[in-house]
Amino acid sequence: MTVLAGLASIRGWQEEFYRDLHQHPELSHQEHRTAARVAERLRGTGFSVHEGIGGTGVVGVLHNGDGPTVLLRADMDALPVKEATGLTYASTTTVTDAAGAEVPVMHACGHDVHVTCLLGAAQLLSDRTEQWSGTAVALFQPAEEVGDGARGMVEDHLGELLPKVDVALAQHVLPIPAGMIGTHPGPFLSAADSMRVTVHGRGGHGSMPQTTVDPVVLAAMIVIRLQTVISRETPPGEIAVLTVGSIAAGTKSNVISDHAELQLNVRTYSDATRTAIFDAIRRVVVAECQASGSPKEPQFELFDRFPLTDNDPDTTARVAAAFSAHFGDRSTTMPMGTASEDFSDIPNALGVPYTYWGVGGIDPDAYRTAEQAGRVSQDIPVNHSATFAPVLQPTLTTGTEALVVAALAWL
């Protein structure tokens, strides 16, 4: 493929750019340095650049004659994780987060890979415009980790900046062997919703529980009952997850508090199941509050909401065929995952089909050794781990190739 002929020539700057991003990670909505570096390099490749979309989002547009418009997306933000990879270019960054706390920061999810690969794809497309026709859009999104970055760009009039988009494409580096590519038609990544539930009791002295309504006992009963929502109310074969990740109540052993707060996380693959689980949570919480004689109605607050990633079958088939032709047996079909993404908010708002695929980032020999020993889950770091460190190659080259190959299935 002629457009990919320049891969070797961009390898040097890509690896340097990646190391720099990895060493200078930025939290959601704080991606100012990353965005500035992205915009600078995009301009150097001839793209028309729009900055500050949805806060720190960057969009590059390259018009190249008649033909479809293909949108390629990468996310830019990092996580509040203290890096423990031991890399020479490991992050030592600490910043103040949105809540005012001082936290370490690390690219523990591989968004630095995504940014570097998309910039490489933009360079290759720009260098070989005689080989394709249409419009390439390179979109660099903030705040994926908190689930509102894509929505923020849409609400900041993203659609008005773009020509009519025909298809949207994105990828994510995953803990599978580097060099591998995996597609999946239909529901791929789950919708995710976090819920904060506050239940009320009547506080008092720990020695006189009969004068109180103990919110700790109330919260405990809610947790136990919620375990049946998946096992007894969700149809067998329908994948869903309901986790109570946090309970907070009281300050002292002999003081019964007047309230408790629970934080829940729900993962689903259909709107019907999502609605049914929310209804069940509210029913259980309200009923347990009534059973305990709670003096006030409970409060429910939804936050950190991620949409379902539901890959368009025709679009996915087209990309999968292109990958199979280019990558051969390194292209595979991936299973559904319970991780979540907000990318689909962009194509959904634009009314266009999309597909989202996985790219391997783990040293193939290390993965094979762990697999043969039956220790993949123990020995292979996963996204969001303090030791997650994709190998530079062939990860960057494969991710760059994937974006170009997929885009050229339309351009």
Residues catalogued as catalytic: 77, 144
38-43, long-range: CB < 8 A, 24+ apart: 38/76, 38/115, 38/119, 38/140, 41/17, 41/119, 41/123, 42/119, 42/122, 42/138
Which of 245, 244, 249 is CA-nearest to residue 260?
A: 249
Residues 322, 407 contacting (CB under 8 angstroms): no
d(CA 71, CA 167): 6
> What count of Cα atoms within 13 Å lies in the side-chain half-sphere of residue 65?
7
Buried b (16+ CB within 10 A) or exposed e, 40-75: ebbeebebebbeebbbbbbbbbbebeeebbbbbbbb
The answer for residues whose C-beta is within 8 angstroms of residue 154's C-beta and 6 or more apart is 54, 345, 346, 349
Residues 221, 262 contacting (CB under 8 angstroms): no
d(CA 4, CA 195): 46
Decide: helix, strand or coil at residue 2.
helix
* Beta pairing class for 167-177 and 69-75: parallel
Q: Tell me which amino acid residue 189 is.
A: L
The answer for residues whose C-beta is within 8 angstroms of residue 379's C-beta and 6 or more apart is 366, 369, 370, 373
